[in-house]
Amino acid sequence: MQSVIIEDEKPAARRLQRMLENLDVQVLTVLHTVEEAITWFSTNPSPELIFLDIQLSDGLSFGIFEAVEISSPIIFTTAYDEYALQAFKLNSVDYLLKPIDDEELEAAVTKFRNRMPSESKLPNLQVLKSLLNLPKEYRKRFTIPVGQHLKLIHVGDVCCFYSENKGTYIYTCEGRSYLLEGSLDKLEPELDPALFFRVNRKFIIQMKSLKDIITYSNHRLEVKLENFQGEQIIVSRERVKDFKEWLS
């Protein structure tokens, strides 16, 4: 049987690989991040079985299945509460609590070997997310095409986002603008509301970039951002109250 391990803790991954090899389970590869897994599954067929940790160093492993189509059954290897895991049994998937016990691993592998392939199915990942009560994942970075290159911009380096001439732009703390795909409406829910606020229909600003806040006409506010040389940014009247609460 061929399997893949997705685990960001390398000692735990090596231990699991040794345990599986003792059970005559071939490990095709060990993947440590969401990004690494997406790349591998994009160019390789799905294995017979995946051993998957939930929390990886660059995000939740559910993001892998949202990016690429994978048909393999999954045995989760996780440190999450066993009571929540009992509910996951409804999805016909096995879950092993860390540190993984040899006998429990053997039982899970035997259970998988004994059932018909047609009975194997992926769990409902949205259900798993809700049962685990996992925190929402927000964008951590943006990949921007610049000529023949790709520029990586982390959210901490963003001054604001703005729309102009039917385009959406990211403005960095270095004072550079880059064109983004999509609209501000689509972008807004992907941003951490503790860091970003949409002050009007044209601007989403980052809190740490705030330089000054000035009383403006008609009970509105004007905000000035560090290194931003674009048009005047006004907090719309209907957003002033929420904006003040955001600052507090």
Model pLDDT for residues 137-191, shown as the tens digit of each residue: 788 888 888 888 888 899 999 999 999 998 999 999 999 999 998 899 989 988 9
Range list of H helices, the chain: 10-22, 34-43, 62-67, 82-88, 102-114, 125-132, 184-187, 240-247
CB 235 within 8 A of CB 223: yes
State the number of CA atoms in the 13 A half-sphere of 79 facing the CB.
7
Give the mean model confidence (pLDDT) for residues 43-64.
Answer: 87
**Alpha carbon 157 to chain centroid distance?**
18
Question: Are the CB atoms for 5 and 96 separated by under 8 Å?
Answer: no
